[in-house]
Structure 1
Amino acid sequence: MRSLKIILLSSAFNGLTQRAWLDLRQSGHAPSVVLFTDQATVCRQIEDCDADLVICPFLKDRVPQQLWSNPARPLVIIHPGIVGDRGASALDWAITQQVSRWGVTALQAVEEMDAGPIWSTCEFDMPADVRKSELYNGPVSDAAIECIRDVVEKFAKGFVPVPLDYTQPNVIGRLQPNMSQAERTFSWYDCARFIKRSIDAADGQPGVLASIQGAQYYLYDAHLDSRHGTPGDILAVQDDAVLVAAGDRSLWIGSLKRKAQPGEETFKLPARYVLAEKLAGIPVLDGSIASQTFNEQAYQPIRYRECGHVGELTFEFYNGAMSTEQCQRLVAALRWAKARETQVLLIKGGRASFSNGVHLNVIQAAKVPGLEAWANIQAIDDVCQELLTARQLVISGLTGSAGAGGVMLALAADRVFARAGVVLNPHYKTMGLYGSEYWTYSLPRAVGSEVAHKLTEECLPISALQAQQYGMIQGIGPRCPHAFSQWLMQQASSALDDENYVLTRARKATLDLEQVKRCREHELAQMQLDMVHNRQQFAEKCRNFVLKRKTCQTPQRLMAPWAVAREAASIDE
């Protein structure tokens, strides 16, 4: 197949768009990103280039007629629903209605939204008790990549998309309205599983509006618990979450967003932060791994178990963000785990992501954001220090995608393994930061100084396969989360028999602690300028990220040379 010039038109360079961009490049094509800013700009960017095909992996904006009506250049929408399904709340309805099977459909854009002819479809069995972000970043993302590959192959062969025909018995999807808060609502007297499903279906955006202690909040990050109480009462606090009684049992609620007043902007924060003034007298439970038996069904953001000579520590922080206090809890857990008589320490992320570094939302909510950022970066550095100085062989498992400090945290381990399909963003500059987490030590150690410079300066995502080729990771496991966890434990259990183990032990024995210390001191000196003194507009970039401000233009680093050249020629004319 010849190399195609493909525009990826997207509302944001999100995880799926990054996967599509990487996958197309790996297949020998030349994708170029156009972020949807305003209709006039988007039309000019696409009309002025000679793209063969436009694919929209993640588009919340309506496609201008000028673009979809061009017969010479198809514009294909990737819709997270089965054939016939239409509407912006596809995943919300699928989770709410507990469908057993779902899918992704690639369809040509027409005037009526999601009603165009079909290019491709890919279905999957719906996971049980799945939250929307987990579904989107997992089976939906996988199916979307399959559809995009299929679309590109079919386009190259001159395929004509098939009109949507609701009279066909296999077309079972239907037009679904945008799900309103009235359709998401619940009573605390409802059963806990129903409430959890309502929150899961609104995970990420928009959340479920509910009342807690007489005030209105949008709820996220729900976990079932067996304790009982008066429905609606807060029964306990653990780490960042609050335990709220429901009709039959109770739920941990990890994150909240206060309902905004007119003209006000609010954002998600850990529930304990939001409800701080309402928690006087509420019991605070000890969530440390030293006091809790491992239980995958319980609310345990940090959990630990042992399997032979392997100690496995899992940390599952919502959206991969790590606040100062979360980092401090993780440091305490690591110190406890390091004191155990194990030979291998395996650290894993959660279901949806590994880590994205410091917690920008908590930083933005602080009275002095720069000082909170400064405390946060030192706390996550402490996590990395515990990994670098562990007696055990340390293995990190990238259960999901990682960015910025989250990538560098993984690299503080002796060996790194990744789940197939994860995307890594090993850079800081786009947030106005120099970066820390010992990256000036760990990244060159893994890939060499030349590649380290390239990765941190280009500010582009890389695939797990690229990371393995660079030497950042040593193996790629199954895409299925459950299968990956089993595979990861097998890797950890057999690590001591690996021929590379002797070399790794020798490297650990000769660790230059003074060099490591100097790297941290240099990084923090730079980060103080960025976080406290706002050298590179970190404060503004953090605020824009947290408040989800729309980008004003597509970054040039995401534009292919052919698209940049055409746009420059158009401007000159």
Structure 2
Amino acid sequence: MKILFLTHSFNSLAQRLYIELTRRGHEVSIEFDINDAVTTQAVELYRPELIVAPFLKRAIPEAVWRNHVCFVVHPGIVGDRGPSALDWAIMRDCAEWGVTVLQANGEMDGGDIWAAETFPMRLAKKSSLYRNEVSEAAVRAVLAAVGHYCSGNFKPQPLDYSRSEVHGRLHAPIRQADRAIDWRRDDTRTVLKKIHAADGFPGVLDTLCGGAYYLFDACAEGTLRGSQPGAIIAQRNGAICRATLDGAVWIGHLKLKAGGAIEQSGLSSTNSLESYSPIPPPTPPLKGGGCAAMFAFHPPFQGEGWGGDGLNSASEQSGLKLPATLALGEHLADIPEAPLDPFSPCSGETYRDIWFEQKNNVGYLHFNFYNGAMSSLQCERLREAYITATQRDVRLIVLMGGADFWSNGIHLNCIEAAASPADESWRNINAMNDLARAIATTDSQITIAALQGNAGAGGVFLSLAADRVYAREGVVFNPHYKGRATCMARNTGPTCCRSAWARRGRRR
């Protein structure tokens, strides 16, 4: 069947659905939803039998949905309507959520229902839920809906709020005022929910060091404590730790709001956001220190290791999501480091992007980098950890990556934020190559790349440096994006392929 994908971008869900449908023999063409005229023309030229919209940010033109069956993939339970569906589900602590495939009509998200799936919620970033639970539910729902459509005798169900099983409701778009953190009143779980619900996009607007920033990439801290909620109390490997009413949270990434300064951001000096996120002079003494944490004062951070010899101007940084310590730079001169050895046992909640576990004679090296992007410094740190792992008493080293991404290659935002993007790009490429070479030339252990999450760009080729590559069902390999070349682990269980190095006859 000829299917037209109408999508805002070719995101992870669109890629996954594209593979699932083409694998089943459907002919799928992709059209980016730019405006009504372009969309209408694309439909006229392609003449699809069915239109599927996996990811939209605006309504489908009436001229299209009146003349074609259009499936909208909505990340909400039956009856849920409106934008920010997953955001609200996280904010409201919903125990269960879902995906609904409905037919577009003149009422936003109010069309007839062709299929729906549900899943249990967990306290996690919106982006993580979207790439895992939402994507899996969407695949099941879309395949079911397409099957129903192909049968020719399925009658979709109109949305009827009088039915007891319809729990969703129409909701308004979520605003920054709804997301705002009240550091004096919000406990750790509430802070995490607010940042998780905005992760990926748009982030939670807050004030730090006299500037307006969007917060991303949060996790709980189990032992470190500060006396003033909202204060920055520690830093580690690009992340900052902020005290909360009953504990602390790590924030891994920040994005400078256009305009940067508080007075330019629409937040006045008397605005509650500023009073909720003070940076007190001096920093209060730290308490705790589990997970083998040690503390030392760090000199002014000028971007070394992240973006070469300094950073671009603030105006050039706005719009770039950066490691928090890189975004704040010299403002963190008096904030202590809380280093954590990747090889030290750690049972409590804390921030760590590289860690090693050993079970019998098998070593597991985890590298959970935000969005799978690997800066020069992260590549160098991972290479050091890998070399240390090869010196331990293990026969196999399993490269685990992260839960959401294995690797997406070099860190383009850190490169763009550098004072010399060209130099930093070259450094990042070489750091990635050095890491790949260290893995590919290992003779003392068998190496396995175990992909829990997707891999893209240079991350795909990094995985091939290992002797074997295993991937869970549904993992997407996308070596480049421009041509949309993708492949996926088959749904017959974990995929295993021998790496190019192993196929050349490498021996142990």
Q: How much is the aligned-residue C-alpha RMSD, in angstroms?
A: 2.2
- 1:132-166 C-alpha deviation (Å, 9 max, x unpaired): 01110111101111111111111112223211111
Partner residue, 1:346: 398
How far did residue 382 of structure 1 move? Answer: 1.3
* CA distance 1:164–1:468, shift in 2 (3 Å): closer
> Which residue of 28, 33, 44 maps to 1:31?
28
How far did residue 472 of structure 1 move? Answer: 3.9
Residue type matched to 2:105 in 1?
V
How far did residue 426 of structure 1 move? Answer: 2.0
Partner residue, 2:177: 182
> Which residue of 136, 139, 146 maps to 2:140?
146
Partner residue, 1:374: 426
Q: Does 1:196 align with 2:195?
A: no
How far did residue 369 of structure 1 move? Answer: 1.0
- Give the secondary-structure state (helix, strand or coil) at the position aligned to 2:351: coil
Equivalent-residue separation in structure 2 for 1:203 and 1:329 (angstroms):
25
- Give the secondary-structure state (helix, strand or coil) at the position aligned to 1:465: coil
Residue type matched to 2:101 in 1?
A
How far did residue 240 of structure 1 move? Answer: 0.8
How far did residue 466 of structure 1 move? Answer: 9.9
Partner residue, 1:306: 358
- Give the secondary-structure state (helix, strand or coil) at the position aligned to 1:408: helix
Correspondences of 1:81-480 after superposition (within 5 Å): 81-126=76-121, 128-158=122-152, 159-189=154-184, 190-225=186-221, 226-229=223-226, 230-261=228-259, 265-290=318-343, 292-295=344-347, 297-390=349-442, 391-427=444-480, 430=482, 460-465=485-490, 472=497
Listed as ranges, the gaps of 5+ residues in structure 1 are 431-457, 475-502, 510-573
Asked if structure 1 preserves the Cα contact closer than 8 Å seen for 2:473 and 2:495, the reply is no
Equivalent-residue separation in structure 1 for 2:199 and 2:335 (angstroms):
26
Partner residue, 2:268: none
- Give the secondary-structure state (helix, strand or coil) at the position aligned to 1:275: helix
Asked if structure 1 preserves the Cα contact closer than 8 Å seen for 2:100 and 2:115, the reply is yes
Correspondences of 1:50-89 after superposition (within 5 Å): 50-70=47-67, 73-89=68-84
Equivalent-residue separation in structure 2 for 1:368 and 1:425 (angstroms):
28
How far did residue 349 of structure 1 move? Answer: 1.2
- Give the secondary-structure state (helix, strand or coil) at the position aligned to 1:372: helix
Equivalent-residue separation in structure 2 for 1:279 and 1:459 (angstroms):
41
How far did residue 471 of structure 1 move? Answer: 7.1
* CA distance 1:215–1:165, shift in 2 (3 Å): same
Q: Please identify which structure carries the higher helix content.
A: 1
How far did residue 506 of structure 1 move? Answer: 6.8
Equivalent-residue separation in structure 1 for 2:241 and 2:507 (angstroms):
43
- Give the secondary-structure state (helix, strand or coil) at the position aligned to 2:506: helix
Asked if structure 2 preserves the Cα contact closer than 8 Å seen for 1:200 and 1:221, the reply is yes
Equivalent-residue separation in structure 1 for 2:246 and 2:201 (angstroms):
27
Q: Does 1:14 align with 2:14?
A: no
Partner residue, 2:293: none
Q: Does 1:507 align with 2:502?
A: no
- 1:95-120 C-alpha deviation (Å, 9 max, x unpaired): 11111111100001111210111111
The number of aligned residues is 446
Residue type matched to 1:144 in 2?
A
Asked if structure 2 preserves the Cα contact closer than 8 Å seen for 1:213 and 1:233, the reply is no
Q: Please identify which structure carries the higher strand content.
A: 2
Residue type matched to 1:397 in 2?
A
Partner residue, 2:41: 44
* CA distance 1:296–1:311, shift in 2 (3 Å): farther
Residue type matched to 2:230 in 1?
G
* CA distance 1:296–1:392, shift in 2 (3 Å): farther
Asked if structure 1 preserves the Cα contact closer than 8 Å seen for 2:368 and 2:401, the reply is yes
Relative contact order, higher structure (CA 8 A, sep 6+): 1
Listed as ranges, the gaps of 5+ residues in structure 2 are 266-314
How far did residue 38 of structure 1 move? Answer: 2.0
How far did residue 212 of structure 1 move? Answer: 2.0
* CA distance 1:410–1:468, shift in 2 (3 Å): farther
* CA distance 1:307–1:470, shift in 2 (3 Å): closer
How far did residue 427 of structure 1 move? Answer: 3.5
Asked if structure 1 preserves the Cα contact closer than 8 Å seen for 2:195 and 2:203, the reply is yes
How far did residue 464 of structure 1 move? Answer: 1.3
How far did residue 242 of structure 1 move? Answer: 0.7
* CA distance 1:473–1:176, shift in 2 (3 Å): farther
Equivalent-residue separation in structure 1 for 2:237 and 2:83 (angstroms):
34
Equivalent-residue separation in structure 2 for 1:413 and 1:460 (angstroms):
22
- 1:261-315 C-alpha deviation (Å, 9 max, x unpaired): 279652210001011121112111223324x324473211101111000011100
Q: Report percent identity of matched pairs.
A: 42
- Give the secondary-structure state (helix, strand or coil) at the position aligned to 1:149: helix
* CA distance 1:64–1:95, shift in 2 (3 Å): same
* CA distance 1:241–1:470, shift in 2 (3 Å): closer
Equivalent-residue separation in structure 1 for 2:498 and 2:38 (angstroms):
40
Partner residue, 2:298: none
